[in-house]
Amino acid sequence: MAKVKIATVWLESCAGCHMSLLDVDEFIIDLSKLVEFRRSPITDIKGFDDVVVGIIEGCIGNEEEKEVAEELRQHSQIIMALGDCACFGGVCAMRNTLDKADVLKRAYIDTPSTYKGKIPKSPGVPELLNKVYPVNQIIKVDCYIPGCPPEPEAIKYGLTELLAGRIPVVPSNIMRFD
């Protein structure tokens, strides 16, 4: 049987969800026999090709992240939002009650460790969106594994269900938002 192709992307977040993905113990060996990771921070493959499952870690807070999410949606049969940021906005959404200009000023100019700071403005630096969005407010999402980071148990459950051809909904006893 051909391996199931999976792509993962790391958008606005801390990479903790990818860590959690690698933290599924010996299941990673079984998983590697069944799936092939395509574009992913783990494989360092850059371009997109068509996959069965597209996993998104992180929320969407700038133009690039929006583009990546939209492109992954086009190339994936199923999109899985992984972690609190992707599902709800998470820690990154702290800035949503603040003004975008204030956020940039605080980050690039006001921080005590900054000397002669300035807000970057170049075509190479993606523009911040006014707000940070959970993935399902930008593209259609098919399943969610919340958690900060998600329990390895929940990730294992999600992937096992997907490989069995079912859309997973994390059971209450292993669902975590923290």
x/- track of binding to another protein for residues 29-68 (CB under 8 A): ----------------------------------------
d(CA 95, CA 76): 30
Name the 3-class secondary structure at 102: helix
Binder to another protein among 144, 153, 155, 157 (CB under 8 A)?
144
Q: Is 122 in the site for another protein (CB under 8 A)?
A: no
Q: Residue 93 Cβ, how far from another protein at the closest point, in Å?
A: 6
45 versus 177: smaller Cβ distance to another protein: 177
Q: Residue 97 Cβ, how far from another protein at the closest point, in Å?
A: 5
48 versus 88: smaller Cβ distance to another protein: 88
Residue with tokens 């993905």: 21
Q: Which of 73, 76, 60, 58 is nearest to 126 (CA)?
A: 60
48 versus 91: smaller Cβ distance to another protein: 91
CA distances, 113 to each of 70, 77, 92, 118 (Å)? 36, 45, 21, 13
CB proximity list for 57: less than 8 A, separation 6 or greater: 8, 9, 10, 11, 13, 15, 17, 18, 82, 83, 85, 86
Binder to another protein among 73, 75, 105, 131 (CB under 8 A)?
131
Return residues touching another protein (CB under 8 A): 81, 84, 87-91, 93-94, 96-97, 131, 134, 136-137, 141, 143-146, 148, 169-172, 175-178
